[in-house]
């Protein structure tokens, strides 16, 4: 099986690479690349994302043919893709970080700044927070409700269809922290920085 971590220059993804390498352990052919051909023929894709929504979308668009290849992978071929942090946020139609920016429109919705209730809650939301599992989920299999995951973000994904939400976390309001629809999976938290629970999520995705 070929699993590809898309490297589109969206910040430091070394911890993503290390965690996936640990789980792959030679059983899975893991590639880190922006090569369109390799991405096209992968069995699964990991789309990380660090920085702002706009900078990540711009970086995707800067690689000729990458967005079209990802669309074909997800929409036409319906192969599994895991979006992490801004990688998940880009599933949306639009994001409002820095400037209004069009997303990938895979799951209808928007990415807006967390309501910090006039400074009552610090932004970015950084550190460990517990998640509440909202529905049965393939990548949250054997993850206990109220498990703690590691977060770093100031913006949240608000999907139109609430049935895609697989987990939420409480920070100022109920924030969507995991989504799942058909072959699309996303986490707002960083599984690669979330200790054993995070590695279990990565393992679940690899075993899909």
> What's the pLDDT tens digit per position in 54-86?
999 999 999 999 999 999 999 999 999 999 999
Cβ proximity of 124 and 152 under 8 Å: yes
Q: HSE of 25 in the Cβ direction (CA atoms, 13 Å)?
A: 6
Beta bridge partners of 29: 2
Q: For 129, phi and psi rounded to 5 degrees?
A: -145, 150
- Is 186 a residue whose pLDDT tops 90? yes
Does the bond joining 33 to the residue before it have cis omega, within 30 degrees of 0?
A: no
Active-site positions read: 85, 190, 192
What is the architecture, at CATH level 2, of domain 2-206?
3-Layer(aba) Sandwich (3.40)
Instruction: With cut-offs at 50, 70 and 90, classify the pLDDT of residue 94.
Output: very high
Average pLDDT for the chain: 97
Q: Structure pTM?
A: 0.97
Q: Where are the beta strands (DSSP E) in 75-192?
A: 81-84, 94-95, 101-102, 109-113, 125-133, 148-153, 155-159, 165-171, 173-181, 184-187
Render pLDDT for 38-60 as a digit per residue (tens, 0 to 9). 999 999 999 999 999 999 999 99
* In the chain, domain spans: 2-206
Render pLDDT for 4-29 as a digit per residue (tens, 0 to 9). 999 999 888 999 999 999 999 988 99
């Amino acid at each position: 099986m070929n699993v590809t971590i898309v490297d589109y220059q969206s910040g430091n993804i070394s911890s993503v690479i290390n965690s996936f390498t640990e789980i792959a352990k030679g059983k899975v052919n893991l590639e880190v690349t922006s090569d369109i051909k390799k991405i096209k023929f992968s069995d699964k894709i990991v789309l990380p994302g660090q920085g702002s929504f706009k900078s990540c979308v711009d970086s995707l668009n800067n690689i000729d043919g990458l967005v079209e290849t990802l669309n074909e992978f997800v929409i036409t071929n319906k192969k599994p893709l895991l979006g992490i942090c801004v990688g998940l946020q880009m599933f949306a139609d639009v994001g409002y970080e820095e400037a209004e920016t069009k997303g990938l429109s895979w799951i209808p919705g928007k990415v807006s700044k967390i309501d910090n209730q006039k400074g009552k809650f610090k932004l970015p939301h950084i550190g460990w927070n517990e998640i509440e599992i909202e529905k049965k989920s393939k990548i949250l299999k054997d993850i206990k409700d109220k498990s703690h995951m590691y977060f770093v973000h100031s913006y949240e994904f608000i999907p139109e269809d609430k049935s895609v939400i697989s987990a939420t976390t409480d920070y100022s309001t109920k924030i969507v922290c995991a989504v799942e629809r058909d072959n699309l999976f996303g986490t707002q938290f960083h599984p690669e920085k979330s200790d054993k629970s995070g590695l279990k999520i990565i393992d679940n995705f690899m075993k899909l």
